[in-house]
């Protein structure tokens, strides 16, 4: 068992991001934000005097603030911004509870999602996403994560899951471009909308659209801001 892969209630093993990353963001981002705010306040007068510098208005306003209250206020704003970013990161942080009978995913305060252990054939990381796949090649879960591969591999190995180095069906994915005939009009429209969500870094919408595309019969993989697709395996019960 590796660091950040520890037993939890029952016979499950919890896999989470390294402690230095979890606690470092909580403490480090507010400090970094405060430092940036302090530096901005110190440099405001100098930048405001440069005719060619952009954002002259905000820098002139900062430079006009009474001191030292102005510098402290800007630094405090930076601290608050850092706390905000830290909270957003915490809300998107994934934890995975692995047991023989199920795999549970938790992300922030969202309701947990589960996959039955008996349905899982292989597990692997694919470009920063944890993927659980069944024996037919269908994806039971695809969750973006910062948990180290060694931590995840140890947790799944501990409970008898088969861990692979890569996607056995990775070669079947094709690059999607608008109006790709193979996906049909409806899925093409969903992929267009999802491309916009990815561009805006709206992870929630992108995840929901991935599920909609999956229900429509296609699996999606992201790579370098581009979407790749392959047909979802067909079953009698689908």
pLDDT in single tens digits along all 238 residues of the chain:
344 544 445 688 999 887 666 666 677 778 888 889 888 888 888 877 787 777 778 878 888 888 888 888 888 888 888 887 776 666 678 899 999 999 999 987 778 899 999 999 999 999 999 999 999 999 999 999 989 999 999 999 999 999 999 999 999 999 999 999 999 999 999 999 999 999 998 888 999 999 999 999 999 999 988 999 999 997 654 4
Tokens standing for 152? 């995840």
Non-local CB neighbours of 141 within 8 Å, separated by 6+ positions? 103, 105, 113, 115, 130, 131, 132
pLDDT averaged over every residue in the chain: 87
**What domains appear along the chain, each with residue ranges and CATH number?**
5-16+93-158 (2.40.10), 19-91 (no CATH), 170-231 (no CATH)
Contact 226, 175 (CB under 8 A): yes
> What is the spatial distance between Cα 116 and Cα 15, in angstroms, rounded to a whole number?
17
> What is the spatial distance between Cα 167 and Cα 171, in angstroms, rounded to a whole number?
8
Non-local CB neighbours of 164 within 8 Å, separated by 6+ positions? 122, 123, 124
Helices (H), the chain: 19-48, 56-63, 69-92, 149-158, 184-199, 203-215
């Amino acid at each position: 068992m590796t660091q950040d892969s520890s037993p939890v209630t029952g016979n499950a093993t919890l896999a989470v991001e390294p402690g230095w990353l979890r606690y470092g963001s909580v403490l480090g981002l507010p400090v970094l934000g405060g430092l940036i705010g302090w530096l901005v306040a110190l440099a405001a007068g100098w930048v405001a005097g440069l005719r060619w510098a952009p954002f002259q208005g905000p820098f002139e306003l900062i430079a006009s603030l009474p001191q030292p209250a102005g510098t402290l206020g800007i630094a405090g704003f930076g601290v608050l911004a850092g706390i905000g970013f830290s909270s957003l990161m915490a809300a998107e942080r994934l934890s995975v509870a692995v047991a023989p009978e199920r795999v549970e995913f938790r992300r922030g305060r969202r309701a947990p999602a589960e996959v039955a252990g008996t349905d899982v054939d292989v597990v692997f990381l694919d470009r920063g996403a944890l993927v659980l796949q069944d024996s037919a090649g269908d994806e039971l879960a695809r969750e973006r994560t910062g948990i180290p591969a060694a931590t995840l591999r140890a947790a799944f190995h501990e409970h008898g899951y088969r861990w692979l180095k890569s996607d056995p069906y990775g070669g079947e994915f094709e690059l999607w471009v608008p109006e790709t005939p193979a996906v049909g009009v409806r899925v093409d429209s969903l992929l267009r909308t999802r491309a916009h969500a990815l561009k805006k870094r709206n992870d929630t919408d992108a995840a929901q659209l991935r599920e909609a595309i999956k229900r429509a019969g296609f699996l999606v993989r992201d790579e370098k801001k581009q979407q790749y697709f392959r047909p979802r395996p067909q079953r009698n019960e689908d």
